[in-house]
Amino acid sequence: RLSAPNRPVAVFIGMPGAGKTRIGTEVAHLLGLGFVDSDEQIEKREHESIPSIFATRGEPEFRRIENEVVEDLLGSFEGILSLGGGSPMHEGTRAALERYVQDGGTIVYLRADPEEAMVRSQHGGNRPLLAHDARTRWMNLYKQRDPVYSRIATVIVATRGKTPAKAAKAVMEGM
Ligand code: S3P
């Protein structure tokens, strides 16, 4: 083998509050790998917060930027990558994720318990889609997204009742 493939070791997807960042960081730590979150990369690149991008430029423009950032990372970053919850719903991003899996990549879907995830997703400040009617919004998004997440994932871990350490262990057993 001349060189390792330039791609993430695993990509985490799932709803806001599922624990992608918390559990992804834990898995990266256990494997001695770097960790990157697509939302953070977008904020760095744009010099603007996620809520501000949504407010001033709108969701379609956010998804376009997110698509560029995610495709860049899928072709270059060799650690654990966590994606914003909505990213697999964008056609181009989803196609890039499907190619990544065809090339042997690992996509981990953290399937959250709605009650647990909704409580956690209230704590983050970068979630403009959940600002109003959080509960109904979360459930509607979940219904649209769960089939897509499930279809593209190579590993599915239900996080209900699991500590981050336990969930990380379950992820690694599935990888
Ligand atoms: C979004 C989730 C957020 C962020 C943006 C949109 C979504 O990321 O990308 O607010 O559509 O679910 P998290 O999943 O990390 O909360």
pLDDT digits (tens, 9 = 90+) for 39-79: 999 999 999 999 999 999 999 999 999 999 999 999 999 99
- For residue 159, give every residue at least 6 positions away whose Cβ sits within 8 Å of its Cβ, in sequence order, or none: 18, 19, 23, 110, 111, 112, 113, 116, 167
Residue 112 lies in a domain: yes
Give the amino acid at 28: A
Structural domain tally of the chain? Answer: 1
For residue 136, the domain's CATH number is 3.40.50.300
Q: Quote the tokens at residue 86.
A: 């909505």
Structural domain for 46, as ranges: 10-174
Which of 21, 109, 129, 137 best tests ligand 1's pocket when mutated (most atoms within 8 Å of CB)?
A: 129
* Segment 115-158, tens digit of pLDDT: 888 777 765 555 665 555 677 888 899 999 999 999 999 999 99
Burial of 6 (0-12, 13-18, 19+ CB in 10 A): exposed
Cα of 20 from ligand 1 centre, angstroms:
11
> Does residue 4 sit within a domain?
no
Indicate whether 88 belongs to any domain: yes
The answer to the question of residue 41 being in a domain is yes
Pairing of strands 107-111, 35-37: unpaired
